[in-house]
Amino acid sequence: GEDVEQSLFLSVREGDSSVINCTYTDSSSTYLYWYKQEPGAGLQLLTYIFSNMDMKQDQRLTVLLNKKDKHLSLRIADTQTGDSAIYFCAEKEGTYKYIFGTGTRLKVLA
């Protein structure tokens, strides 16, 4: 069935790295995404990775994809208080359907 799973909470200290993990179910997913949602706001597309890639780096963000284990992770280097938000991973199934995880609430402690 369709299921994208994430842990619910993560707490890190400012300046440390954060790693948010996600497992997905559809091995045929073409794209996998990370979105950020701040309080009272919509989802902001942070980054995405095509399924034939293992890693993608974009400034402080590093995405790792393990297709064998259907595991996706987002690493945020030098985490700042402004990074506190809910992070959603999502997979694209087929042409039009997106499945979102439950979201991980990241709290950055000063």
Partner 1 sequence: DSGVTQTPKHLITATGQRVTLRCSPRSGDLSVYWYQQSLDQGLQFLIHYYNGEERAKGNILERFSAQQFPDLHSELNLSSLELGDSALYFCASSGTADYEQYFGPGTRLTVT
- Binding-site size, partner 1 (CB under 8 A): 23
Q: How far is the CB of 16 from partner 1 (least distance, A)?
A: 27
In the complex with partner 1, the residue whose CB is nearer, 43 or 64, is 43
Give just the sign of the alpha carbon dihedral 25, 31, 37, 41.
negative
> Which among 16-24, 28-36, 57-65, 73-81 is the span making contact with partner 1, rule CB under 8 A?
28-36
101 near partner 1, judged by CB under 8 A: yes
- Token digits for 3? 């299921």
Which segment (9-17, 18-26, 31-39, 58-66) binds partner 1 by CB under 8 A? 31-39
17, 44, 57, 66: which one contacts partner 1 (CB under 8 A)?
Answer: 44
Q: Are strands 104-109 and 9-13 parallel, antiparallel or unpaired?
A: parallel
- Tell me the DSSP string of 26-44: -TT--EEEEEEE-TTS-EE
Q: Please, which residues have CB within 8 angstroms of residue 12's CB and are 6 or more apart in sequence?
A: 18, 79, 106, 107, 108, 109
> Residue numbers of the site for partner 1 (CB under 8 A)?
30-31, 33, 35, 41-45, 48, 50, 88, 92, 94-103
